[in-house]
Amino acid sequence: MLYEIKSYAVAPGQMPNCLSLYQDEGYRYFKPFEKNLLGYFVTEVGDLNRLVQFWKFEDYAERAAMLASLRGDPGFAAFGAKLTPSLQDQKCLLMRPAPFAKCV
């Protein structure tokens, strides 16, 4: 099992725009992969103005297949072009569960 946390720093004041773009245009591209999506979140405290995605994959191949599908879709690229001006940075963390812990 492989877990991924993608975190985007959103420019101050741009979060409503980002959330609207995801809701109205972007989320449809993730619908085929909903079984892998553990959730979308917005930070409340700590590192503010962050939009965070949590993903779960069986292995690297499943993750790579999803990314290839998204990157090959011109509509997803157009969505990304609209979203990018509101973003300041992106962080990605890939993790495997510790052998002694039960994970979702």
Predicted local confidence at residue 101, as pLDDT: 83
What is the C-alpha R_g of the chain?
14
Instruction: Tell me if 54 sits within 8 A of 36, measured CB to CB.
Output: no
What does the pLDDT look like over 12-50, one tens digit per residue?
999 999 999 999 999 999 999 999 999 999 999 988 899
What does the pLDDT look like over 60-71, one tens digit per residue?
999 999 999 999
Give me the phi and psi of 33, to 5 degrees please: -115, 20
CATH code for the domain defined by 2-95: 3.30.70.100
Question: Hey, is 97 helix, strand or coil?
Answer: coil
Predicted local confidence at residue 47, as pLDDT: 86
Nearest to 48 by CA among 95, 88, 94, 4: 88
Predicted local confidence at residue 43, as pLDDT: 93
Q: What DSSP string runs through 57-76?
A: ESSHHHHHHHHHHHHT-HHH
* Rounded percentage of the chain residues whose pLDDT exceeds 90: 92
Reported pTM: 0.88
Give me the phi and psi of 13, to 5 degrees please: 85, -5
